[in-house]
Amino acid sequence: MKERKRIVLLFPGQGTLKKGTGADLLETKYAIELDRKASSVIGFSLIEKIMQATEDDYSRTVFVQPATFFLSLLSYIILKEESEVFVVGAAGHSLGELTALTASGFFEIQTGFQLVLHRAKFMESCCRKELSSMVAVIGDNPLSLSSIAGYYGVYLANINSNQQVVFAGPVEGLKHFKDRVQELGYRAIYLNVEGAFHTPLMDEASTNFRLFLKKQKIGYNSFPVISNFDGKPYDRNNLIEKLSRQISSPVRWVDCIETLSFFDPDCWVETFPGNVLLRMLPPEIPGERIAIRSLSDIEKL
């Protein structure tokens, strides 16, 4: 009997989805069933919305978050049903953490969609109060720039790798910060988002999400999920606190990957739309890499 491949799952977040991708996934029987569950919560077909979405929709939190959650979770469901793999652990980046928690069984699928929808609304409400954005900074030890970020009213938002971090804040201060770090020799790239996620500018969203989370049923997970908040596994006792604080705290992705590496997987698999998180994996970490961008990628497993 063939031994099942031990895999770690990586679930991407907002900003990874591109218009026109995922068509073959949306044509599967699994997509129809998932869309039925999603529409019972959000009131419309996500398949139709994704197919008809405009370029402007792809910058709006209230569309991008449910669409990304849907497609990422769909790719996991197809993987689970169509391949013989053993999931030893998982993590999701920002929004992707909700996908990971739902895939693992902490939340039922309909609950997952409710959480995504409310999270997006709470975050978009914060975005409307102050124009803000995010900038990825790439170079040698960009984390050191935290020492000057406060001068510009900017916050550390993501620690993605030793070569890439993300800062966020009000657009005016962020612009001056971006100019300064470029003067220092770093690459600085605006992200296609409409707010300063994972910073204190999201405190109100974090509080509101915590209150909503307390009303939800929490299930039992089938595999470990590592938290963005502290790089440690979730459990039923710490889930509400850590998941709500994640919205207004930096994503400690480096810590998540370090923890997952101890599970010694045969393969690192990034769910749809794939190959954003895998590119941030340190090359010295062993294991095959597979990004799910179509049905043919799932067949590799």
167-218 pLDDT, tens per residue? 999 999 999 999 999 999 999 999 988 899 999 999 999 999 999 999 999 9
Give this prediction's pTM.
Answer: 0.94
Query: 52 lies in which domain range?
Result: 5-128+198-299
Helix ranges (H only) for the chain are: 23-26, 29-42, 46-52, 61-82, 96-104, 109-129, 146-149, 171-183, 203-213, 239-245, 253-261, 295-299
User: What pLDDT sits at residue 2?
Assistant: 60
Indicate whether 179 and 105 sit together in one domain: no
Indicate whether 158 and 49 sit together in one domain: no
Domain boundary among 142, 169, 190: 190
Residue 27 parent element (H or E): none
Indicate whether 66 and 203 sit together in one domain: yes
CATH number of the domain where residue 177 is located:
3.30.70.250
Indicate whether 71 and 186 sit together in one domain: no
User: What pLDDT sits at residue 88?
Assistant: 97
User: What pLDDT sits at residue 186?
Assistant: 98
- Residue 1 scores a pLDDT above 60: no
Nearest-angstrom CA–CA distance, 39 and 5: 34
Residue 135 parent element (H or E): strand 132-138
User: What pLDDT sits at residue 294?
Assistant: 87
Maximum pairwise Cα distance, the chain: 61
Indicate whether 148 and 283 sit together in one domain: no
Nearest-angstrom CA–CA distance, 204 and 209: 9
Domain boundary among 156, 190, 224: 190
User: What pLDDT sits at residue 225?
Assistant: 98
Indicate whether 230 and 257 sit together in one domain: yes
Q: Which two tokens mark 209?
A: 């999400």
> What is the crossing angle of helices 96-104 and 109-129, to 10°?
160
pLDDT average, residue stretch 281-294 = 92
CATH number of the domain where residue 250 is located:
3.40.366.10
Closest by CA to 242, choosing from 100, 111, 137, 55, is: 100
CB atoms within 10 A of CB 121: 16
Closest by CA to 66, choosing from 90, 43, 91, 32, is: 43
Indicate whether 66 and 103 sit together in one domain: yes
Helix (H, G, I), strand (E, B) or coil at 177: helix
Indicate whether 152 and 116 sit together in one domain: no
Indicate whether 176 and 65 sit together in one domain: no
Indicate whether 124 and 137 sit together in one domain: no
- Residue 109 scores a pLDDT above 80: yes
Task: Indicate the number of domains in the chain.
Answer: 2
Of all residues in the chain, the percent with pLDDT exceeding 70 is: 98
CB atoms within 10 A of CB 73: 27
Indicate whether 41 and 107 sit together in one domain: yes
DSSP letter string, 38-93: HHHHHSS-HHHHHHH--TGGGG-HHHHHHHHHHHHHHHHHHHHHHS-EEEEEEEE-
Domain boundary among 143, 164, 190: 190
Indicate whether 107 and 229 sit together in one domain: yes
